[in-house]
Structure 1
Amino acid sequence: MSVKAITSYDDFKKIIAQDKVTAIDFWATWCGPCKMISPMFEKLAAAADADKIEFYKVDVDEQGQIAEEVGIKAMPTFVFFKDGKKIKETVGANPGALDASIKEVSA
């Protein structure tokens, strides 16, 4: 599965309300660590079971309302939702932590 961009608050609300896990990469174009870990997020998305987890990206500068509601304080932050609720959060460009989080929430 590929990583899709969330481009509106309404789309965000619909996506996180699903009964499957959604992984969202909160990033910014000016963020160096975001650029470093983005290829890994894409690779993990391609390898993941699409029946269990979907992958999205939110540009915090373009979607400030979403970033504010989720409480994003640093980039990158990876937030996992299910049934409209935040179930896990991983902050920083830490490949091991990101991989472990994805395995945990999609098990």
Structure 2
Amino acid sequence: MVVKSIESYEEFQSLISGDKAIVIDFWATWCGPCKVIGPIFEKISDTPAGEMLGFYKVDVDVQEKIAQEVGIQAMPTFVFFNKGQPVKKVVGANPQALQAGITEVSSSL
């Protein structure tokens, strides 16, 4: 699956409330660690987990309202949503923790 950018607050609300669980990469263009883990996030989206979860990203400087609502305080932060609720959060550019979170959430579906 291709990682898609969320372009509006309305799109965010629609996606988190949908039938499919999703993971969102909250990042910023100036964030060095975001640039390191971004390609890893993209690569994971091409695995079987990418068929079970929706993979999205939000630029916190462009979509400040979304970042504020979710309570993003550091970048990158990966937040997993299922049925409108956040179910897991991974803070930092930690590929192992990100993969573990994806495995945990996708196996609970």
TM-superposed CA distance for 1:36, in Å, is 0.3
Moved more, 50-59 or 6-15: 50-59
Are 1:9 and 2:9 counterparts?
Answer: yes
Deviations 1:18-60 (A, max 9, x none): 1221000000000000000001000000113444201000000
Corresponding residue of 1:84: 84
TM-score, normalised to structure 2, is 0.95
Q: Give the whole-Å Cα distance in 1 for the aligned partners of 2:74 and 2:48.
A: 25
TM-score, normalised to structure 1, is 0.97
Corresponding residue of 1:52: 52
Q: Give the whole-Å Cα distance in 1 for the aligned partners of 2:65 and 2:36.
A: 25
Q: Unaligned 5+ residue runs, structure 2?
A: none
* Residues 85/103 of structure 1: CA separation in 2 closer, same or farther (3 Å cut): same
The answer on whether the counterparts of 1:20 and 1:51 sit within 8 Å (CA) in structure 2 is no
Deviations 1:59-89 (A, max 9, x none): 0000000000000000000000011000000
Q: How does 1:1-107 map to 2 (within 5 A)?
A: 1-107=1-107
Q: Unaligned 5+ residue runs, structure 1?
A: none
- The alignment-based identity, stated in percent, is 59
